[in-house]
Amino acid sequence: MTDTDDYGSPMTPQTATPEVAAWENSAVFVQKMMVEGLVAGGGLDRVAAIAAEHAEGPVGIFVPRPGTEGEDGTPAERYVAELVAGGEPELPDEVHEIALIVCAGELLGAAVLLDEGCPRATDYLGAAATASLTGIAMMNARDETARTLGASFITELMTRRDARVDDVLRRAGLLGRDLTEGLSALCVDAASDRVVVGATIEAHNPHALTEKVGDHLMALVPGRRETVVELSVRLAADAVVTVSSHYDRAGDARTALEEARLLMEVGATGASAETFRLLFQVSEEQPERLRTFTAGTIGPLLRHDAEHATELEKTLRAYFDHNCNMNLTARTTFTHRHTVSNRLTRVRELTGLDPQHAEDRELLGLALKAHRVAGLRTAAAGPERRFG
Protein backbone atom coordinates (compact mmCIF):
# COMPACT_ATOMS: atom_id res chain seq x y z
CA MET A 1 0.00 0.00 0.00
CA THR A 2 1.41 3.41 -0.99
CA ASP A 3 1.97 5.91 1.83
CA THR A 4 0.28 9.28 1.47
CA ASP A 5 0.92 12.75 2.88
CA ASP A 6 -1.57 14.88 4.84
CA TYR A 7 -3.42 15.80 1.63
CA GLY A 8 -3.74 12.22 0.33
CA SER A 9 -0.97 12.56 -2.26
CA PRO A 10 1.36 9.53 -2.77
CA MET A 11 4.77 9.76 -1.12
CA THR A 12 7.88 8.64 -2.99
CA PRO A 13 9.44 5.49 -1.40
CA GLN A 14 12.97 6.06 -0.17
CA THR A 15 14.21 2.98 -2.07
CA ALA A 16 12.54 3.75 -5.43
CA THR A 17 14.11 2.31 -8.58
CA PRO A 18 15.35 4.73 -11.29
CA GLU A 19 12.28 3.89 -13.40
CA VAL A 20 9.89 4.63 -10.50
CA ALA A 21 11.77 7.83 -9.66
CA ALA A 22 11.50 8.99 -13.27
CA TRP A 23 7.75 8.28 -13.32
CA GLU A 24 7.18 10.10 -10.04
CA ASN A 25 8.98 13.14 -11.41
CA SER A 26 6.98 13.17 -14.64
CA ALA A 27 4.47 15.96 -15.27
CA VAL A 28 1.63 13.42 -15.58
CA PHE A 29 2.32 11.92 -12.15
CA VAL A 30 2.77 15.36 -10.58
CA GLN A 31 -0.56 16.45 -12.04
CA LYS A 32 -2.17 13.35 -10.52
CA MET A 33 -0.74 14.34 -7.14
CA MET A 34 -2.18 17.84 -7.54
CA VAL A 35 -5.68 16.57 -8.30
CA GLU A 36 -5.56 14.20 -5.33
CA GLY A 37 -4.50 17.14 -3.16
CA LEU A 38 -7.52 19.11 -4.41
CA VAL A 39 -9.90 16.25 -3.66
CA ALA A 40 -8.42 16.02 -0.15
CA GLY A 41 -9.28 19.70 0.42
CA GLY A 42 -5.89 21.32 -0.18
CA GLY A 43 -7.19 23.89 -2.68
CA LEU A 44 -5.13 25.75 -5.26
CA ASP A 45 -2.53 26.51 -2.60
CA ARG A 46 -1.74 22.78 -2.47
CA VAL A 47 -1.40 22.68 -6.26
CA ALA A 48 1.02 25.61 -6.11
CA ALA A 49 3.06 23.93 -3.35
CA ILE A 50 3.44 20.69 -5.34
CA ALA A 51 4.39 22.63 -8.46
CA ALA A 52 6.95 24.67 -6.51
CA GLU A 53 8.52 21.52 -5.05
CA HIS A 54 9.11 19.97 -8.46
CA ALA A 55 9.88 23.20 -10.36
CA GLU A 56 12.41 24.08 -7.65
CA GLY A 57 11.13 27.64 -7.43
CA PRO A 58 8.21 29.61 -5.95
CA VAL A 59 4.93 29.17 -7.81
CA GLY A 60 1.74 31.20 -7.60
CA ILE A 61 -1.65 30.26 -9.04
CA PHE A 62 -3.77 33.33 -9.72
CA VAL A 63 -7.45 33.10 -10.68
CA PRO A 64 -8.84 36.66 -10.37
CA ARG A 65 -12.49 37.28 -9.57
CA PRO A 66 -14.57 38.46 -12.55
CA GLY A 67 -14.32 42.21 -13.05
CA THR A 68 -11.32 42.72 -10.80
CA GLU A 69 -8.15 44.46 -11.96
CA GLY A 70 -6.07 43.09 -9.09
CA GLU A 71 -5.09 46.60 -8.01
CA ASP A 72 -4.39 45.44 -4.45
CA GLY A 73 -2.24 42.46 -5.48
CA THR A 74 1.40 41.84 -6.31
CA PRO A 75 2.83 42.75 -9.74
CA ALA A 76 2.29 39.13 -10.83
CA GLU A 77 -1.32 39.14 -9.63
CA ARG A 78 -2.02 42.44 -11.38
CA TYR A 79 -0.40 41.10 -14.54
CA VAL A 80 -2.61 38.00 -14.61
CA ALA A 81 -5.73 40.02 -13.75
CA GLU A 82 -5.10 42.37 -16.67
CA LEU A 83 -4.55 39.40 -18.99
CA VAL A 84 -7.86 37.85 -17.91
CA ALA A 85 -9.59 41.22 -18.41
CA GLY A 86 -8.39 41.23 -22.04
CA GLY A 87 -5.47 43.62 -21.68
CA GLU A 88 -1.89 43.41 -22.92
CA PRO A 89 0.13 44.26 -19.79
CA GLU A 90 3.91 44.45 -19.68
CA LEU A 91 5.56 41.35 -18.20
CA PRO A 92 6.78 42.18 -14.66
CA ASP A 93 10.30 41.21 -13.59
CA GLU A 94 9.07 38.71 -11.01
CA VAL A 95 7.32 36.55 -13.61
CA HIS A 96 9.88 34.03 -14.99
CA GLU A 97 7.54 31.45 -16.52
CA ILE A 98 3.80 31.33 -17.01
CA ALA A 99 1.21 28.69 -17.95
CA LEU A 100 -2.25 29.96 -18.77
CA ILE A 101 -5.39 28.36 -17.29
CA VAL A 102 -7.89 28.15 -20.15
CA CYS A 103 -11.33 26.51 -20.30
CA ALA A 104 -13.43 26.39 -23.50
CA GLY A 105 -11.36 29.18 -24.97
CA GLU A 106 -11.82 31.45 -21.93
CA LEU A 107 -8.77 32.63 -20.00
CA LEU A 108 -9.39 32.10 -16.28
CA GLY A 109 -5.97 32.68 -14.74
CA ALA A 110 -2.40 31.41 -14.76
CA ALA A 111 0.23 29.38 -12.93
CA VAL A 112 3.31 31.55 -12.53
CA LEU A 113 6.94 30.74 -11.65
CA LEU A 114 8.13 33.66 -9.52
CA ASP A 115 11.88 32.96 -9.62
CA GLU A 116 14.45 30.77 -11.35
CA GLY A 117 13.48 27.11 -11.50
CA CYS A 118 14.72 23.79 -12.83
CA PRO A 119 14.94 23.05 -16.60
CA ARG A 120 11.59 21.22 -16.48
CA ALA A 121 9.76 24.01 -14.60
CA THR A 122 7.58 24.74 -17.65
CA ASP A 123 6.25 21.16 -17.63
CA TYR A 124 5.28 21.39 -13.98
CA LEU A 125 3.62 24.77 -14.50
CA GLY A 126 1.56 23.22 -17.31
CA ALA A 127 0.54 20.40 -14.98
CA ALA A 128 -0.45 22.96 -12.36
CA ALA A 129 -2.54 24.93 -14.89
CA THR A 130 -4.37 21.77 -15.97
CA ALA A 131 -4.97 20.61 -12.39
CA SER A 132 -6.23 24.08 -11.50
CA LEU A 133 -9.17 23.54 -13.84
CA THR A 134 -10.34 20.79 -11.49
CA GLY A 135 -9.91 23.14 -8.53
CA ILE A 136 -11.89 25.90 -10.26
CA ALA A 137 -14.67 23.44 -11.13
CA MET A 138 -14.82 22.37 -7.48
CA MET A 139 -15.01 25.99 -6.30
CA ASN A 140 -17.75 26.79 -8.83
CA ALA A 141 -19.75 23.77 -7.67
CA ARG A 142 -19.31 24.83 -4.05
CA ASP A 143 -20.43 28.39 -4.88
CA GLU A 144 -23.50 27.07 -6.71
CA THR A 145 -24.39 24.91 -3.72
CA ALA A 146 -24.01 27.95 -1.45
CA ARG A 147 -26.29 29.99 -3.71
CA THR A 148 -28.90 27.22 -3.64
CA LEU A 149 -28.74 26.89 0.14
CA GLY A 150 -28.76 30.66 0.60
CA ALA A 151 -31.50 31.46 -1.91
CA SER A 152 -34.12 31.83 0.81
CA PHE A 153 -31.93 32.36 3.87
CA ILE A 154 -32.98 35.95 4.58
CA THR A 155 -36.64 35.37 3.67
CA GLU A 156 -36.83 32.40 6.04
CA LEU A 157 -35.03 34.36 8.72
CA MET A 158 -37.51 37.24 8.50
CA THR A 159 -40.53 34.95 8.81
CA ARG A 160 -39.38 33.21 11.98
CA ARG A 161 -40.68 34.04 15.43
CA ASP A 162 -37.51 33.11 17.25
CA ALA A 163 -34.22 32.69 15.40
CA ARG A 164 -32.11 30.59 17.74
CA VAL A 165 -28.43 31.44 17.76
CA ASP A 166 -27.27 27.89 17.02
CA ASP A 167 -29.71 27.58 14.10
CA VAL A 168 -28.55 30.82 12.49
CA LEU A 169 -24.87 30.05 13.02
CA ARG A 170 -25.31 26.55 11.58
CA ARG A 171 -27.13 27.76 8.46
CA ALA A 172 -24.69 30.64 7.95
CA GLY A 173 -21.80 28.22 8.40
CA LEU A 174 -23.13 26.01 5.61
CA LEU A 175 -22.95 29.08 3.40
CA GLY A 176 -19.38 29.82 4.47
CA ARG A 177 -20.40 32.87 6.54
CA ASP A 178 -19.10 33.60 10.03
CA LEU A 179 -21.51 35.61 12.20
CA THR A 180 -19.66 35.13 15.48
CA GLU A 181 -18.29 38.71 15.46
CA GLY A 182 -21.71 40.31 15.13
CA LEU A 183 -23.71 41.66 12.23
CA SER A 184 -25.73 44.52 10.79
CA ALA A 185 -28.36 44.63 8.07
CA LEU A 186 -28.86 46.84 5.02
CA CYS A 187 -32.02 47.62 3.10
CA VAL A 188 -31.63 49.01 -0.42
CA ASP A 189 -34.30 51.10 -2.10
CA ALA A 190 -36.41 49.25 -4.68
CA ALA A 191 -35.55 51.74 -7.44
CA SER A 192 -31.80 51.10 -7.16
CA ASP A 193 -29.82 48.99 -9.63
CA ARG A 194 -29.63 45.68 -7.76
CA VAL A 195 -26.84 44.34 -9.97
CA VAL A 196 -24.56 47.29 -9.24
CA VAL A 197 -25.47 47.32 -5.55
CA GLY A 198 -25.01 43.56 -5.20
CA ALA A 199 -21.59 43.72 -6.88
CA THR A 200 -20.52 46.58 -4.61
CA ILE A 201 -21.58 44.68 -1.49
CA GLU A 202 -19.77 41.52 -2.58
CA ALA A 203 -16.60 43.42 -3.48
CA HIS A 204 -16.55 45.23 -0.12
CA ASN A 205 -17.53 42.20 1.97
CA PRO A 206 -17.57 38.81 0.20
CA HIS A 207 -19.10 37.26 3.34
CA ALA A 208 -22.28 39.36 3.13
CA LEU A 209 -25.57 37.66 2.23
CA THR A 210 -27.92 39.47 -0.14
CA GLU A 211 -31.44 38.59 -1.20
CA LYS A 212 -34.44 40.25 -2.80
CA VAL A 213 -37.28 40.37 -0.28
CA GLY A 214 -40.44 41.96 -1.58
CA ASP A 215 -39.52 45.20 -3.32
CA HIS A 216 -36.20 45.65 -1.55
CA LEU A 217 -32.73 44.16 -1.64
CA MET A 218 -31.81 43.03 1.86
CA ALA A 219 -28.27 42.29 3.01
CA LEU A 220 -26.93 40.67 6.16
CA VAL A 221 -23.37 41.89 6.71
CA PRO A 222 -21.13 40.17 9.29
CA GLY A 223 -18.33 42.02 11.05
CA ARG A 224 -17.80 45.22 12.97
CA ARG A 225 -20.15 48.20 12.79
CA GLU A 226 -17.43 50.37 11.22
CA THR A 227 -17.11 48.11 8.17
CA VAL A 228 -20.87 48.22 7.56
CA VAL A 229 -20.91 52.03 7.80
CA GLU A 230 -18.06 52.18 5.25
CA LEU A 231 -20.08 49.94 2.94
CA SER A 232 -23.21 52.10 3.26
CA VAL A 233 -21.17 55.19 2.37
CA ARG A 234 -19.91 53.46 -0.78
CA LEU A 235 -23.44 52.40 -1.72
CA ALA A 236 -24.84 55.91 -1.20
CA ALA A 237 -23.53 56.97 -4.62
CA ASP A 238 -25.75 54.44 -6.40
CA ALA A 239 -28.66 53.76 -4.04
CA VAL A 240 -30.76 54.82 -1.08
CA VAL A 241 -29.68 52.60 1.80
CA THR A 242 -30.70 52.23 5.44
CA VAL A 243 -28.50 50.54 8.04
CA SER A 244 -29.61 48.75 11.19
CA SER A 245 -27.92 48.88 14.55
CA HIS A 246 -25.02 46.50 15.14
CA TYR A 247 -25.98 43.27 16.92
CA ASP A 248 -23.52 41.00 18.71
CA ARG A 249 -25.65 37.83 18.62
CA ALA A 250 -26.35 35.82 15.48
CA GLY A 251 -29.84 35.22 16.87
CA ASP A 252 -30.54 38.94 16.41
CA ALA A 253 -30.13 38.70 12.63
CA ARG A 254 -33.86 38.90 12.06
CA THR A 255 -34.19 41.96 14.30
CA ALA A 256 -31.43 43.68 12.32
CA LEU A 257 -33.17 42.92 9.01
CA GLU A 258 -36.55 44.13 10.28
CA GLU A 259 -34.98 47.31 11.62
CA ALA A 260 -33.26 48.13 8.32
CA ARG A 261 -36.47 47.52 6.36
CA LEU A 262 -38.59 49.63 8.68
CA LEU A 263 -36.13 52.52 8.47
CA MET A 264 -36.47 52.34 4.69
CA GLU A 265 -40.27 52.13 4.74
CA VAL A 266 -40.72 55.15 7.00
CA GLY A 267 -37.93 57.13 5.35
CA ALA A 268 -36.25 57.61 8.73
CA THR A 269 -33.07 59.68 8.79
CA GLY A 270 -31.00 61.44 11.42
CA ALA A 271 -32.60 61.67 14.86
CA SER A 272 -35.69 59.79 13.66
CA ALA A 273 -33.59 56.81 12.58
CA GLU A 274 -31.77 56.75 15.92
CA THR A 275 -35.11 56.79 17.74
CA PHE A 276 -36.32 53.79 15.76
CA ARG A 277 -33.06 51.94 16.48
CA LEU A 278 -33.50 52.58 20.19
CA LEU A 279 -37.09 51.36 20.07
CA PHE A 280 -36.03 48.20 18.25
CA GLN A 281 -33.57 47.43 21.02
CA VAL A 282 -36.27 48.00 23.64
CA SER A 283 -38.69 45.76 21.72
CA GLU A 284 -36.06 43.00 21.72
CA GLU A 285 -35.04 43.31 25.36
CA GLN A 286 -38.27 44.54 27.01
CA PRO A 287 -41.20 43.95 24.63
CA GLU A 288 -43.80 44.19 27.38
CA ARG A 289 -42.54 47.61 28.40
CA LEU A 290 -42.92 48.85 24.83
CA ARG A 291 -46.49 47.53 24.64
CA THR A 292 -47.33 49.09 28.01
CA PHE A 293 -45.98 52.46 26.88
CA THR A 294 -48.00 52.36 23.65
CA ALA A 295 -51.19 51.32 25.43
CA GLY A 296 -50.77 54.07 28.02
CA THR A 297 -50.37 56.84 25.47
CA ILE A 298 -52.20 56.18 22.20
CA GLY A 299 -54.09 53.05 23.25
CA PRO A 300 -57.49 54.81 23.44
CA LEU A 301 -56.90 56.36 20.02
CA LEU A 302 -56.08 52.99 18.46
CA ARG A 303 -59.13 51.35 20.02
CA HIS A 304 -61.35 54.19 18.75
CA ASP A 305 -60.04 53.72 15.21
CA ALA A 306 -60.65 49.96 15.42
CA GLU A 307 -64.17 50.26 16.81
CA HIS A 308 -65.43 53.19 14.72
CA ALA A 309 -63.35 52.89 11.50
CA THR A 310 -61.93 56.39 12.01
CA GLU A 311 -58.52 57.59 10.85
CA LEU A 312 -57.17 59.38 13.88
CA GLU A 313 -53.81 57.58 13.85
CA LYS A 314 -53.33 58.15 10.13
CA THR A 315 -54.15 61.84 10.50
CA LEU A 316 -51.84 62.25 13.48
CA ARG A 317 -48.97 60.64 11.59
CA ALA A 318 -49.53 62.87 8.58
CA TYR A 319 -49.71 65.93 10.85
CA PHE A 320 -46.30 65.13 12.34
CA ASP A 321 -44.82 64.12 8.98
CA HIS A 322 -45.72 67.55 7.59
CA ASN A 323 -44.27 69.50 10.49
CA CYS A 324 -47.70 70.21 12.00
CA ASN A 325 -48.97 72.02 8.89
CA MET A 326 -52.77 71.73 8.77
CA ASN A 327 -53.08 72.47 5.05
CA LEU A 328 -50.47 69.90 3.97
CA THR A 329 -51.99 67.32 6.32
CA ALA A 330 -55.45 67.91 4.81
CA ARG A 331 -54.07 67.54 1.29
CA THR A 332 -52.28 64.29 2.15
CA THR A 333 -55.28 62.75 3.92
CA PHE A 334 -57.75 64.00 1.27
CA THR A 335 -59.80 65.89 3.85
CA HIS A 336 -60.63 69.49 4.72
CA ARG A 337 -58.48 71.56 7.07
CA HIS A 338 -61.36 71.71 9.55
CA THR A 339 -61.62 67.91 9.51
CA VAL A 340 -57.96 67.69 10.48
CA SER A 341 -58.53 70.16 13.30
CA ASN A 342 -61.52 68.18 14.57
CA ARG A 343 -59.56 64.93 14.51
CA LEU A 344 -56.67 66.45 16.45
CA THR A 345 -59.18 67.67 19.03
CA ARG A 346 -60.53 64.13 19.28
CA VAL A 347 -56.95 62.84 19.78
CA ARG A 348 -56.55 65.22 22.71
CA GLU A 349 -59.84 64.11 24.24
CA LEU A 350 -59.00 60.41 23.97
CA THR A 351 -55.35 60.49 25.08
CA GLY A 352 -55.15 63.58 27.27
CA LEU A 353 -52.22 64.70 25.10
CA ASP A 354 -52.44 67.78 22.88
CA PRO A 355 -50.78 67.37 19.45
CA GLN A 356 -50.32 71.14 19.29
CA HIS A 357 -48.40 71.28 22.58
CA ALA A 358 -44.63 70.72 22.21
CA GLU A 359 -44.07 68.22 25.04
CA ASP A 360 -47.25 66.27 24.33
CA ARG A 361 -46.37 66.23 20.64
CA GLU A 362 -42.99 64.62 21.39
CA LEU A 363 -44.64 61.93 23.51
CA LEU A 364 -47.28 61.21 20.88
CA GLY A 365 -44.63 61.01 18.16
CA LEU A 366 -42.60 58.53 20.20
CA ALA A 367 -45.71 56.44 20.88
CA LEU A 368 -46.52 56.29 17.15
CA LYS A 369 -43.00 55.08 16.41
CA ALA A 370 -43.21 52.50 19.20
CA HIS A 371 -46.53 51.26 17.82
CA ARG A 372 -44.99 50.95 14.36
CA VAL A 373 -42.10 48.88 15.72
CA ALA A 374 -44.35 46.66 17.84
CA GLY A 375 -46.75 46.17 14.94
CA LEU A 376 -43.98 45.15 12.57
CA ARG A 377 -42.51 42.65 15.01
CA THR A 378 -45.94 41.10 15.61
CA ALA A 379 -46.86 40.91 11.92
CA ALA A 380 -43.54 39.33 10.98
CA ALA A 381 -43.67 36.72 13.73
CA GLY A 382 -45.68 34.05 11.94
CA PRO A 383 -45.87 30.46 13.16
CA GLU A 384 -42.87 29.19 15.07
CA ARG A 385 -40.86 26.55 13.23
CA ARG A 386 -37.33 25.25 13.05
CA PHE A 387 -34.99 27.28 10.86
CA GLY A 388 -32.94 25.67 8.10
Residue 259, judged by CB atoms within 10 A of its CB (0-12, 13-18, 19+), counts as buried
What is the distance between the alpha carbons of residues 346 and 231, in angstroms, rounded to a whole number? 46
Q: How many CA atoms lie within 13 A of 239 on its CB side?
A: 27
Is residue 11 one of the residues assigned to a domain?
no
Domain boundary residue, one of 121, 146, 171: 146
Is residue 203 one of the residues assigned to a domain?
yes
168: CATH: 3.30.70
Q: Does residue 186 contact residue 241 with C-beta atoms inside 8 Å?
A: yes
What is the distance between the alpha carbons of residues 367 and 362, in angstroms, rounded to a whole number? 9
In angstroms, what CA-CA distances link 345 with 10, 79, 325? 87, 73, 15
The pLDDT value recorded for residue 201 is 83
Residue-range definition of the domain harbouring residue 326: 289-381
- Say which range, 121-125, 174-178, 203-207, 251-255, has the weakest mean pLDDT: 174-178
What is the distance between the alpha carbons of residues 200 and 203, in angstroms, rounded to a whole number? 5
Model confidence band, residue 22 (pLDDT cutoffs 50, 70, 90): low
41-70 per-position pLDDT tens digit:
888 999 999 999 999 999 999 998 755 555
267-316 per-position pLDDT tens digit:
656 667 777 777 877 777 777 888 888 888 999 999 999 999 899 999 99
Is residue 284 one of the residues assigned to a domain?
no
Dihedral sign for Cα 132, 137, 141, 146, please: positive
Query: For the whole model, what pTM was predicted?
Result: 0.48
Is residue 4 one of the residues assigned to a domain?
no
